[in-house]
Amino acid sequence: MSRSFLGMPAFPRAADVSTRDTRLRANLTHATRTIRDKRARAVAELDDWAGLRAAGAALKDRTLRHLDRYLEQLEESVVAAGGQVHWAADAAEANRIVTRLVRETGEREVVKVKSMATQEIGLNEALAEAGIRAYETDLAELIVQLGDDLPSHILVPAIHRNRAEIRDIFRREMGKWGRPAPEGLSDSPAELAEAARLHLREKFLTAKVGISGANFMVAETGTLVVVESEGNGRMCLTLPETLISVVGIEKTVPTWQDLEVFLQLLPRSSTAERMNPYTTTWTGTTDGDGPRTFHLVLLDNGRTDTLADTVGRQALRCIRCSACLNVCPVYERAGGHAYGSPYPGPIGAILTPQLRGMAGPLEQSLPYASSLCGACYEVCPVAIDIPEVLVHLRERVVEGGPVTRGGARVVLKPARGHAAERAAMRAAAWAFDHPGALRGGMRLAARTRRLHPRRLPGPGRAWSDTRALPAVPAESFRDWWRRTRGANGNSETGGVE
Amino acid sequence: MSSRDVVLARVRRALADVPRGEGPHDPPVPRDYLRVHGSRTTEETVELLAENLADYRAVVHRCAPGELPALIGRLLAERGARTVVAPTGLDPRWLSAAEVTVLPDRAGDTARELDAVDSVVTGCALAVAETGTLVLDAGPDQGSRRITLVPDHHLCVVRVPGQVVGSVPEALPRLSPERPLTWISGPSATSDIELDRVEGVHGPRTLEVVLLAEEGGS
Ligand code: SF4
């Protein structure tokens, strides 16, 4: 458990390696196409989808625009229900808080339900340094953890592994962490799931401390919501004596009633189901049922910086459904690891540079890890205009400009000696070197084109006035390419319209 | 300055663009989505629930009021269940025909003890037809959350049509957020291995639902 996303190479280099991995490509193509088709059917069942999507986007905007007020209300409600609330300005602080809370219980082991926030802050590594072992209990996360690997998809973190690899990992590693894999374990999914059940049950039945994230937090009532399929969530949320939930501040929703919108949007967008097998809600603690102690750690770690960007802010609406990954032609080719963060795909391309800032080459290249086809915007259940934010962030990389880091307003310099621009251009060139990725996007582009702005709003306007906006229109992307790379641009790629 | 103050101050600074006059209930949220999808008679709603439960691989049974004890007895016998955990408020008649040892839902029991139990029998708070979902709210006939989690077989009785609602928007106002809720749509499942769906990783691998016609009802 030593791997981390930090220090990953920039997108084009990582993608270059992953696209040569044919097994990875085959796994991914199969997986994303399957989910994508199922999702379209699940969404088509609801003839008010557009209305739900508009309500979801508006509810998140309402929360974000008054986040201070809703966070205070949330804190009050959680405390009134018997919970304890902690605030963490950054990853290090969140890790310190959780480590202290676990230490105070006297325990050296914790069970975890899949949580992107804790991956983001590197909690498992921080706990390991303090001598505390964290067991991931989501089947895919278990595969990732046992394989000393990194997750590559929001919903199916081990999407890059096939059944034979999983069997090998189980046979080799399970015994080092607890109950070994059964003798003669085959690679049938049912047997592999059974092996995971037996291995993890040992952990669940003895664990005194559980760590989770949450999909939603209701300000009005102080209720937390976890949506899952396997039941490992229920195990972690109800069996331990102490529950610690680490949740990004943007997961707040105003009222109990608002869940009627998100509990319809999330499962259909995510697993393409009418409803996921299990949803757990809890409000503080309940006598004789579930943990006796409940801690909520509210995590900033770059979220308020993202909030300060009036264009980029919309990324905080994300409900982590993963629909945008499954339609993205670039994700399908590059795989999740190339994005260098727990948030892969189109949402990762706009969230990671905002959460971490745009000083490093990876963060500078991410806004270019897209063909700007617009498919991600079309499927997003909370209508995040990912192409708009990508273009906005590209402007920041190339031109510099005002950004917020650690709560302070700073002016980002244009990429030094155009080094960053070159790094970024390599990502764009990477997309052009993979005409399938590009064309896949462009077919969709024609359908979604009218949904996208031609000019940037606000401070980006001057920039877009003198440049063809590299938003959805596929030709503009090529124009922009020629303009920025001159005669070197390869006009043969794409073959559009 | 505490981290609480730091984070809240950052939020306020980040939102300098939000006009002062804008209240926490702005911007408006369009609520013109549907309360329920399509119009159905009460019978059709129950039928849809049965269909969607079955679609998610729950095993669905129906029975008239007098038939419940015999049905429960038969279903437990068919599974070879010898021990059954029951919530304290469960109608004792429900298990009167079952040849099993009934264990109460006791907070003092360890999870490991619960792991040795064959089945659990509960009622529910309500069921959602459009999504095929059972909602448990830890009421007296449902017990603590863990008893419907650890045993491998869950038998859940839904009174129809009284406990059935059409949709998620119809369900939430009938539920209290102060109670811990468990929404169950089919048995535990995973699709993490090459997207092949496998039932039962951690929760009960078999979910049986009895749709119990209410006295005087259909
Ligand atoms: S950006 Fe939208 S589509 Fe992508 S994961 Fe978030 S909510 Fe889902």
Give the span between the Cα atoms of B215 and B184, in whole angstroms: 26
A315 alpha carbon – ligand 1 mean position (Å): 9
User: What is the A322 CA–ligand 1 centroid distance (Å)?
Assistant: 5
**Ligand 1 midpoint to CA B119 (Å):** 39
Is the CB of residue B116 less than 8 Å away from at least one CB of chain A? no
Instruction: List chain A residues with CB under 8 Å of B113.
Output: none
Question: pLDDT per residue over A458-477, tens digit each?
Answer: 444 444 444 443 433 333 44
Mutate-to-test residue for ligand 1 from A319, A341, A352, highest number of ligand atoms within 8 A of CB? A319
Cβ neighbours of residue A269 closer than 8 Å, sequence gap 6 or more: A39, A43, A319, A321, A322, A323, A379, A381
Residues of B in contact with A47 (CB under 8 A): 34, 37
Q: CA of B167: which chain A residue's CA is closest?
A: A260
Distance A267 CA to ligand 1 centre (A): 12
Ligand 1 mean position, distance from CA A379 (Å):
8
Please state the φ and ψ torsions of residue B184, each to the nearest 5 degrees. Answer: -125, 120
CB A241 within 8 A of CB A102: no
Are B110 and A205 a contacting pair at CB < 8 A?
yes
Q: B210: Cβ–Cβ under 8 A, 6 or more apart, which residues?
A: B61, B62, B63, B68, B71, B72, B75, B155, B156, B157, B158
- Report chain B residues whose CB lies below 8 A from the CB of A275: 128, 131-133, 168, 183, 185
The one-character DSSP state at B119 is E
The number of residues in chain A equals 497
In the prediction, which pLDDT does A22 show?
78
Alpha carbons A206 and A212: distance in angstroms, whole number = 17
Could you tell me which of B134, B174, B183, B175 has the C-alpha nearest to residue B155? B134
CB atoms within 10 A of CB B38: 12
Report, as an integer, the average pLDDT of A107-114. Answer: 95
Residue A474 is predicted with a pLDDT of 39
In eight-state DSSP terms, residue B67 is G
| Ligand 1 centroid distance, CA of A437 (Å) | 20
Pocket test for ligand 1, best of A60, A61, A269 (most atoms within 8 A of CB): A269
- A189·B194 Cβ contact <8 A: yes
* Rg over CA atoms, chain B: 22
d(CA A432, CA A368): 11
Helix (H) / strand (E) element for A265: namely: helix A259-270
Whether A124 contacts A134, CB under 8 Å: yes
How far apart are the C-alpha atoms of B78 and B59, rounded to whole Å?
13
Is the pLDDT assigned to residue A65 strictly greater than 60? yes
In the predicted structure, residue A320 carries a pLDDT above the cut 60: yes
Q: Which residue has the higher pLDDT, A27 or B44?
A: B44
Which of 10-39 (B) contact A at CB < 8 A? Answer: 10-15, 17-18, 22-34, 37
* Burial class, A405, CB count within 10 angstroms (exposed 0-12 / middle 13-18 / buried 19+): middle
If pLDDT is split at 50, 70 and 90, which confidence band does B107 have? confident
How close B66 gets to chain A, by Cα (Å)?
31
User: Which residues, other chains included, contact A397 with Cβ-Cβ below 8 Å and sequence gap of 6+?
Assistant: A358, A364, A367, A368, A415, A420, A421, A424
Mean pLDDT lowest among A15-29, A85-99, A264-278: A15-29
Report the residue from A52, A166, A190 with minimal CB separation from B33: A52
Residues of B in contact with A206 (CB under 8 A): 112
A308 CB neighbours in chain B (<8 A) are 10, 13-14
Alpha-carbon distance of B150 to A323, in angstroms, equals 32
Cβ neighbours of B8 in A, within 8 Å: 68, 71-72
Whole-angstrom Cα Rg for chain A: 22
Residue among B18, B29, B34, B39 with most chain A CBs within 10 A, to mutate: B29
pLDDT at A213 over 90: yes
Residue in chain B closest to A70 (alpha carbons) equals B24
User: In B, residues 146-205, which contact A (CB 8 Å cutoff)?
Assistant: 146, 149, 168-169, 171-173, 177-196, 198, 200-204
Compute the average pLDDT of residues A241-268: 98
Helix residue ranges, H only, A380-434: 386-399, 419-433
- Which residue in chain A has the smallest CA separation from B175? A256
- Taking contacts as CB-CB distances below 8 angstroms, the residues of chain B near A77 are none
* Predicted local distance difference test score (pLDDT) of residue A486: 41
Positive or negative, the CA dihedral A99, A105, A106, A109 is negative
CB A321 within 8 A of CB A265: yes
| In the block, residue with structure tokens 């890059």 | A160
Q: Which two tokens stand for residue B141?
A: 């006939």
Residue A419 neighbours by CB distance under 10 Å: 11
Q: How confident is the model at residue B130 (pLDDT cuts 50, 70, 90)?
A: very high
At B54 the three-state DSSP class reads: helix
Q: Which residue has the tokens 């360890």?
A: B110
Rounded Cα distance between B180 and A286, Å, is 7
Q: Average the pLDDT over each of A318-327, A442-451, B123-132 and give the range with the smallest value.
A: A442-451
Sign (positive or negative) of CA dihedral A153, A159, A165, A168: positive
pLDDT score recorded for residue A422: 59
Task: Give the pLDDT band of residue A427 (cuts 50, 70, 90).
Answer: low
**Count of H-run helices and E-run strands, chain A:** 23, 12
- Would you say B171 and A166 are in contact if contact means Cβ atoms under 8 Å apart? no
Of B7, B132, B183, the CB nearest to A278: B183
- Cβ–Cβ < 8 Å for B98, B148: no
The enclosing H or E element of A136 equals strand A133-136
Select from A116, A68, A114, A125 the least CA-distant residue to A92: A125
Pick from A223-237, A415-429, A459-473, A475-489 the range whose average pLDDT is largest. Answer: A223-237
- What is the DSSP pairing of strand B198-199 with strand B189-190? antiparallel
The ligand 1 atom at the shortest distance from the C-alpha of residue A321 is 8
What one-letter code names the amino acid at A119?
Q
| Ligand 1, residues at Cβ distance < 6 Å | A 269, 318-324, 347, 379-382, 384
pLDDT tens digits, A190-203: 999 999 999 999 99
Give the mean pLDDT of chain B: 94
Scanning the structure block, which residue is given the tokens 């811990």? B180
Nearest atom within ligand 1 for CA of residue A345? 4
Q: Do A407 and B6 touch (CB under 8 A)?
A: yes
For B3-13, what is the mean pLDDT? 98
> What confidence score (pLDDT) does residue B179 get?
98
Cβ burial of A108 (10 Å; 0-12, 13-18, 19+) is middle
Residue A379 and residue A269 in contact, taking contact as beta carbons nearer than 8 Å: yes
Report which secondary-structure segment, H or E, holds A411: strand A408-412
Q: For all residues of chain A together, what is the average pLDDT?
A: 85
* Residue of chain A whose Cα is closest to the Cα of B171: A260
Q: Using 50, 70 and 90 to split pLDDT, how confident is the model at A446?
A: very low
- Closest ligand 1 atom number to CA of residue A154: 5
In this complex, which of A69, A235, A264 lies closest to B202 when CB atoms are compared? A235
- Give the ipTM of the model, two decimals please: 0.96
Burial (0-12, 13-18, 19+ Cβ within 10 Å), A208? middle
Q: What is the pLDDT of residues A118-175, one digit of tens each?
A: 999 999 999 999 999 999 999 988 999 999 988 888 888 888 888 999 999 999 999 9
**Would you say B62 and B213 are in contact if contact means Cβ atoms under 8 Å apart?**
yes
pLDDT tier for residue B40 given thresholds of 50, 70 and 90: very high
CA of A376 to the centre of ligand 1 (A): 8
pLDDT band at A236, cuts 50/70/90? very high
